[in-house]
């Protein structure tokens, strides 16, 4: 087996390949690492044939849908997974074939109801069912400590003790453990009695993961993250630097306009001299009235440079082919000590 473990912060993904056929499977890909997976596969001479998600992640953004579409391959998840982009749903005991490799599905609900582990020869990919020195939490949507007890003690921990454990998370840069080592030393596995185990899990009182709702929204629906939307908009437009804009301020050009897209009170409090105002929420409805000439070079400005990126991309879609965004936003403008004006947009007062 060709094997790569790819860490992204505490998230662990795995690329496993069949040396005989060059087919590969990607397990639990993270959105920020998509190009890395493709690079490793190319370097190894592998072709990724399937993407497998061990469960619906609540704490990070999955690249499964994106990569599945890009590569034209199915995303595999357990039958209980809610995501509509799952191309192949599997169940307990079934085999996922990757060239000459076989991954056996162990349905292990508890962390989530769609959690599964993948057993392949001398190793098992445990998702968040079993971590090194821990287990997945059971207090997030579809979690169930009773089911986790069954999944661990009735199924996963019955694998041979020498089986290597590769989890979906490890925050201490450990690569793997073994079933035997976890049975002996994992603090969560010392309470084998069901009632005691459930009570321990219920009493953990963990804080919610950051980005919980956004991760669940995107991973369950196949929708986009805010970061993805911004990256796509940023790829469609050029930017102007703070220095370049400062140098342009004294110039009198009738084909260039600075457009502040923040809310009206933020604009009135402080804006770039000469900037016009049209809030992002009104952009599509009022832009024709405000700027009848689509050949204008419109430079959008917001507080942090994110909303202005979306606004400039929207303007380009509307036909303003020279729309650009300020790189750095008002925050950067103020920090550089460039000049500021206050008051309403004079054109709107007429």
Q: Give the footprint of Fe ion on this chain (CB under 5 A).
A: 57, 128
Q: Taking a C-beta distance cutoff of 8 angstroms, is the pair 261, 271 a contact?
A: no
Strands laid side by side in the 116-120 sheet: 95-98, 101-107, 116-120, 123-127, 164-167, 177-178
Instruction: Give the H or E element holding residue 31.
Output: none
Closest distance to Fe ion from the beta carbon of 76 (Å): 17
Which is closer to Fe ion, CB of 28 or CB of 260? 28
Closest distance to Fe ion from the beta carbon of 189 (Å): 18
Q: Taking a C-beta distance cutoff of 8 angstroms, is the pair 297, 325 a contact?
A: no
Closest distance to Fe ion from the beta carbon of 301 (Å): 39
Which is closer to Fe ion, CB of 57 or CB of 271? 57
Q: Taking a C-beta distance cutoff of 8 angstroms, is the pair 299, 258 a contact?
A: yes
Structure tokens at 108: 């292990």
Which is closer to Fe ion, CB of 126 or CB of 308? 126
Closest distance to Fe ion from the beta carbon of 79 (Å): 18
Closest distance to Fe ion from the beta carbon of 347 (Å): 52
Which is closer to Fe ion, CB of 57 or CB of 277? 57
* DSSP, res 62: B
Other C-beta atoms closer than 10 Å to the C-beta of 199 total 12
Which is closer to Fe ion, CB of 57 or CB of 119? 57
User: How many whole angstroms separate alpha carbon 159 and alpha carbon 280?
Assistant: 57
Q: Is 76 left (phi over 0), alpha (psi -120 to 50) or beta?
A: beta
Residue nearest to Fe ion (CB): 128
Radius of gyration from C-alpha coordinates of the chain: 26
Closest distance to Fe ion from the beta carbon of 129 (Å): 9
Which is closer to Fe ion, CB of 11 or CB of 324? 11
């Amino acid at each position: 087996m060709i094997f790569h473990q790819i860490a992204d912060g505490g998230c662990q993904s795995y690329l496993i390949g069949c040396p005989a056929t060059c087919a590969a499977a990607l397990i639990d890909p993270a959105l920020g690492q998509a190009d890395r997976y493709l690079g490793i596969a190319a370097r190894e001479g592998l072709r990724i044939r399937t993407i497998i998600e061990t469960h619906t992640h609540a704490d990070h953004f999955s690249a499964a849908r994106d990569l599945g579409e890009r590569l034209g391959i199915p995303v595999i998840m357990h039958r209980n997974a809610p995501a509509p982009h799952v191309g192949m749903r599997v169940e307990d005991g079934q085999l996922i074939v990757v060239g000459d490799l076989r991954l056996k599905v162990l349905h292990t609900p508890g962390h989530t109801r769609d959690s599964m582990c993948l057993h392949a020869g001398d190793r098992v990919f445990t998702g968040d069912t079993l971590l090194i020195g821990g287990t997945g939490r059971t207090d997030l949507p579809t979690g169930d400590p009773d089911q986790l007890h069954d999944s661990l003690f009735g199924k996963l921990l019955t694998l041979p003790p020498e089986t290597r454990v590769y989890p979906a998370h490890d925050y201490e840069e450990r690569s793997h453990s073994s079933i035997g080592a976890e049975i002996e030393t994992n603090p969560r596995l010392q309470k084998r009695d069901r009632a005691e185990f459930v009570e321990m899990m219920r009493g953990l009182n963990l804080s919610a993961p950051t980005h919980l709702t956004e991760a669940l929204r995107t991973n369950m629906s196949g929708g986009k993250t805010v970061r993805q939307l911004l990256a796509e908009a940023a790829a469609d437009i050029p930017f102007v630097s703070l220095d370049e804009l400062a140098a342009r301020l004294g110039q009198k050009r009738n084909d260039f306009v600075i457009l502040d897209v923040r809310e009206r009170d933020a604009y009135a409090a402080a804006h770039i001299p000469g900037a016009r105002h049209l809030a992002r929420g009104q952009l599509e409805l009022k832009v024709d009235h405000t700027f009848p000439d689509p050949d204008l070079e419109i430079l959008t400005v917001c507080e942090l440079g994110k909303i202005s990126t979306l606004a400039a991309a929207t303007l380009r879609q509307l036909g303003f082919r020279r729309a650009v965004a300020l790189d750095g936003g008002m925050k950067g403008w103020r920090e550089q000590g460039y000049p500021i004006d206050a008051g309403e947009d004079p054109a709107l007062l007429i």
